[in-house]
Structure 1
């Protein structure tokens, strides 16, 4: 009996995790695995690119968890620089283009994994494709940006967008000695936070020497006689630039899936069941940045592009394809970032998210320190907590601070997943010693204040 064939489209976290897990469960005599990756690298950390650009880590090799050769040594037929251009669902086959030879061929499958990732948002503006304008999504993008920085005629960098990618790239440019301006379309940087918490990020970025311009909608990219970028124009002014980094965010890369007639959600990502099987298709799975996942707090699907989720998706898919069992129940929306020594974290819902799904809520915001106030090096930290009106169920937490502020959000992520109330959180037995925390950890202080807000709201 011939071996079944698994075809994997996409060679990064989700795709190759799925392939590797399936191979652990089934040998090549039972399951042949063919994977296609349009770039040069596989199984790499895109999240590490800003730190490669800043000089904190070496790259690109240091960011690669497993090379193409290592995958091939595990009996995975991996084709790099090969782009899948069509999925024929009815015919159980994919068409792949060899980018070097220009040859195109069909490959049949018994089982298919779609892990095409996400693409940087690149608005349709005059000059957007000019030399010196860079998105940052792949290791090839990081290499191109570094080459561009070496050729830049001056030291002025403009970052378009102030989300996670934007603030991380702003730091990277600052660390490389560039004068940095961040153009943000929103009212405050970090739209993943509520505006009152985003304001703290803005103030800190200004203190670091990064100029942040809010309410700035980019209208065009100006270029010089050589075609290279010279400035970024907005509806309120023009900002000189020797290099431009686009940090506007990403969208699911699902053009192939759409053309194949596969189901997409409201955010453009593929829809799957708990096993990561594409809805309505027993032999197709999808994972990583190209899918939508269930928000366990809001009860709706959302698109979150994070390597943590992608690797989990891959493990689940590989287990199911390989004859085992696994599920991915959903997320609570946890994310952390930093700009220089400022740490930024969130999990669960923002105020506008709660309103969008019809939840009434109360908020509590506290200021504390990451260590006992008397211990050397104690730094300020602001924690904001959302709790459901009357019930007190935790809905979300945001943290901005220094000295270990960001990872405190993990306590809240566990509490959200467990469906805890803020009152129950106040009794959590968290670790304490002056070098690590005050007697009352900042998260617990916020929970206590949220309990008071819930009780006060209940008397309305």
Structure 2
């Protein structure tokens, strides 16, 4: 048999590696095609490379092409798959301007996602960057030479706030522009307000409720960002407007897309559509849609954690084993300098859209016993289903040791616990690590009271 993998990052190479563990080269030939230069790297680490906190690009690479080849996977970088023919079971591959045809028995579509790039950003002028790949980050690093001291980051989601911090660490004056009324729109407005206050307290100029209308350029490079609230000077512009599933190639081949615009799969990562399973075709990573286990709805949530798990599931099944990927609950975490932000499950807006009746409870607590050195405040918000008390979601904004507490909430959401059940959880306690009533327990208890 022959397996072809489209995309050489987390999902694709996880699938290839797992299939190779189960089937020897004599039983399964594996060829992976990656249009970029790198394989198996952490795109999530790019802001920390740009900010000088970690080394790159090599420091962000888990396994380079040579390592994959040593494991019996035929990796081709600088090769772009430009066509899929399901009837003939072939793909068209382009390299150095020449096309060739490769056959497959199994195909893993792991093309990832593409950054949202508005029409006004389509200009030959230099100084405008997305940060989706290591190549993007390398180009940005090269551009940030002495003399460039003003940056505008457009979009205040996860990548936007992380890049704003990174550029500020590099000594640039940073303006962060967001069309919505708050940064981090994946958390509720009251929690987003805490994030906004902290961002401004760091010296980053946050402009919310502002729409970008275009760019001003001169001498072949960007000079300013034009908004409906004025013109913002810029030596560098970073786009943090999110991503879309990279499914154009799949769509052109007739592979069915889900309601999110991403590829729909079954629990085993087999591509599915109205006519059932597409035999021998698998998909994983940011190009796929997932099931949100709380709302029960399809969702597109691009994260490296999901991509690696889905790729592993696909590889096990291709290799003759059995594995499933049940879905996600929307857990996410980030930091802006010393501020930590985390969420899991549904936000209030998402709970309402899903048809839940719910209550919320918000508490102020500390990361350690109040009398212990280093105790700092955090805010925890819990969303629970009215009547049943089922935990629907949680959000945390705080500083040291705050955000990883979201994992306790994530486990509770995953296992469909009620907030009343959560109040009896046997969480670890010692003054250097938590108050005698951990913030997780206090928030659950207050939600129980609200019921």
Query: Which TM-score applies when normalising by structure 1?
Result: 0.96
Task: Sort the Cα spacing of 1:127 and 1:276 in 2 relative to 1 into closer, same or farther, 3 A.
Answer: closer
Change (3 A) 1:167 1:126: closer
What is the distance in 1 between the residues matched to 2:150 and 2:412?
Answer: 44
Match for residue 295 of structure 1? 292
- Superposed CA offset, 1:421-460 (max 9, x none): 0000000000000111001111110000100111xxxxxx
Post-superposition offset of 1:261:
1.3
Partner in structure 2 of residue 42 of structure 1: 39
Q: Which residue of 2 aligns with 1:121?
A: 116
The one of 367, 388, 405 equivalent to 2:364 is 367
Tell me whether 1:143 sits opposite 2:101 in the alignment: no
Q: How far is 1:129 from its partner?
A: 5.0
Query: Which consecutive unaligned segments of at least 5 residues does structure 1 have?
Result: 455-460
Alignment partner for residue 386 of structure 1, among 383, 398, 407? 383
Structure 1 residues 213 and 78, CA, compared in 2 at 3 Å: closer, same or farther?
Answer: same
What displacement does 1:34 show? 0.7
Cα displacement (A) at 1:173: 0.5
Structure 2 distance, partners of 1:9, 1:327, is 21
Which residue of structure 1 lines up, in the alignment, with residue 171 of structure 2? 177
Secondary structure of 2:119's match?
Answer: coil
Residue 191 of structure 1 is aligned with which of 185, 189, 200?
A: 185
Contact 1:127–1:220, Cα closer than 8 Å, also in 2: no
User: Which of 222, 230, 236 is 2:229 aligned to?
Assistant: 236
Q: Does 1:165 align with 2:162?
A: no
What is the Cα deviation at residue 181 of structure 1?
Answer: 0.4
> For residues 13-67 of structure 1, what are the alpha-carbon distances to aligned partners after superposition, in whole Å with 9 as ceiling and x for unaligned?
0000100000000001000001100000000000000000000000000100000
* CA contact 1:162–1:190 (8 Å) conserved in 2: yes
The superposition leaves residues 160-200 of structure 1 with CA deviations (integer Å, 9 ceiling, x where unpaired) of: 00000000000000100010100000110001111110000
Check if 1:248 corresponds to 2:241. yes
- Given candidates 417, 428, 434, the residue that maps to 2:425 is 428
Q: 1:17 aligns with which of 14, 19, 24?
A: 14
Deviating beyond 4 angstroms after TM superposition, the runs of 4 or more aligned structure 1 residues are 126-129
Counterpart CA distance in 1 for 2:304 and 2:320 is: 24
SS of structure 1 residue aligned to 2:126? coil
The alpha-carbon deviation at position 282 of structure 1 amounts to 2.1
* Residues 126 and 257 of structure 1, relative CA distance in 2, 3 Å threshold: closer
Gaps in structure 2 of 5+ consecutive residues: none
The secondary structure found in structure 2 opposite 1:125 is: helix
| Aligned pairs (5 A) from 1:294-443 | 294-443=291-440
SS in 2 for 1:150: coil
Residue 220 (structure 1) aligns with: 214
1:185, 1:214 within 8 Å by CA — same for their partners in 2? yes
260, 266, 278: which is aligned to 2:271?
278
Return the alpha-carbon distance in structure 1 between the equivalents of residues 285 and 160 of structure 2: 21
Residues 124-173 of structure 1, C-alpha deviation per residue, up to 9 Å, x if partnerless?
Answer: 1166553101000000000000011116x431110000000000000000
For the residue of structure 2 that corresponds to 1:183, the secondary structure is: strand
- Root mean square deviation of aligned Cα: 0.9
1:379-399 superposed Cα distances (whole Å, 9 cap, x missing partner) = 110001100010000000000
Q: How far off its partner does 1:409 sit?
A: 0.2
Supply the distance in 2 between the matched residues of 1:67 and 1:385 (Cα, whole angstroms).
42
How far apart are the structure 2 equivalents of 1:24 and 1:338? 36
Report the Cα distance in structure 2 between the residues aligned to 1:335 and 1:126, rounded to whole angstroms: 28
Distance 1:91 1:134 in 2: 39
Deviation at 1:301, TM superposition (A): 1.1
Deviations 1:69-99 (A, max 9, x none): 010111111110000001111111110100x
In the other structure, the counterpart of 1:259 is 252
Measured at CA, do residues 425 and 129 of structure 1 come closer, stay the same or move farther in structure 2, by a change above 3 Å?
farther
Give distance in 2, aligned partners of 1:202 and 1:227: 34
